[in-house]
Structure 1
Amino acid sequence: MNLSAPLLALRERPLLVICDYDGTLAPIVVRPEEAVPEPGAPEALAALLAGGRHRAAVVTGRRSAEASAFLNVPELQVVGLHGMEWPGETLHPPDTAALQVIKAALPHAAGMRLEEKGWTLAVHYREVPEPEQPALEAALARITPPPGWEVIAGKKVREFRPSGHGKGRAALQLAARFPDHLPVFLGDDVTDEEAFAALRERGGVTIKVGEGQTEAQHRVASPAEVVTLLRTWA
């Protein structure tokens, strides 16, 4: 483990630490319901919050209650559904008609799984045989979402959601709530890139977890190194 000195030194300033969940605070697994946190992650987040100096939040594509239950850190603010679901705010009713249109247009493949989140629909294909994945990706790309909807790509997943949200907007909203804190965003997925770009323009610190091209300024190897960073900052 070789974490850079500039990342470790961030603890000298009040931080707003914003983390993705899957692939950042928890290892990537085949089935989303089995994505338990990296050992030590909940405790590290709790320690970061305990002193009252730093702030922390999770911005995830999951429902906020699901990520909150995995982490079990009561003081932690969790923003769900890529920035649609905020603590203390009531979501508008889901667009069930649009979701039915999307479901009717989906291709079929052995191993493909649908994750219905009420307001969004994720199509997972990690269990589809690898030789068949490119054709499935192409078929998903040909689907035109209903007006006011968009499709975003993640690791072996395509998610259909209402437009106008995203982790970039959510990260900027959180940063605006805590203007005296240095915003730091940690994420591993394609959906985190918009947050990296948004916070870099604001002078924040962005950290990619794992491999792959990225807009982030820094990189760590795994959720285990994320836990080490959180502990150091705490």
Structure 2
Amino acid sequence: MQSPLFAYTEQQSQDRYTVQNPQLLRVALTGHDDVLARKGAMVAYQGLVDFDGEYQTGSQRTARARTGEGLDLMRCSGQGTVYFANLAQYVHVVDVDQDGLTVDSAYVLALDSALHTEVIAVDSQYGISGSGKYQLNISGRGKVALMTSGQPLMMQVTPDKYVSADADAIVAWSSSLRVQMQAQTHSAGVLRRRGSTGEGWELSFLGQGFALVQPSEVLPPQHAQIGSGVGAQFGVGQQGAHGRNQGNAWS
């Protein structure tokens, strides 16, 4: 049998994390260090690999219930090769160092089990439709695989050049950055469908580090409503796209 499909063979690599193709992650397990992955993200595997639900502590369950932020993970252990993907989103591997990484948990595909995760608050009194006022901080040393809808933009932040990004498009940023949530439109404009410009809430980053932005906003199609009431119409709080679209279905 012959086909151009046979060109899509395994990527041979000694690295633990390998991007098999832009939308597929290959992780090598050696029997020593487990990997935590998004539940249901495994698409194939080879070898002797076990999959089990990851236990959540009481504080993690409480934080998830109060903020909506957290990870639903499975633990992958054993010896072999596992392939992960989610909704054909683009995959990017990041080395987490002492500076740490802050990310919306909806964009995490997999991470080393040695890394520590904690829900933190962003500087805002509001919950908005995309990146809400709570995020996930990942610290320690290890690798994390992130997902984006489309090819992303990595923006460098320096003390003399701050960066602002649409709160619905931001994926992750250096934990060392100072972050403020704000709206360029006046308060009355925000209560309309993100003002008359289509723009509204944004995050501003100051300090030294990076901000990762995807070319897609986690919002439903224009004029679509999720849930009911004023919150659903204007995309605010738990009735907004982030609260009702955890799987990022509008990629």
Fold in common (TM above 0.5): no
Is the radius of gyration larger for structure 1 or structure 2? 2
Structure with greater helix percent: 1
Q: Which has the higher contact order (CA 8 A, sep 6+)?
A: 1
TM-score interval (norm. to shorter)? under 0.3
Q: TM-score, normalised by structure 2?
A: 0.25
Structure with greater strand percent: 2
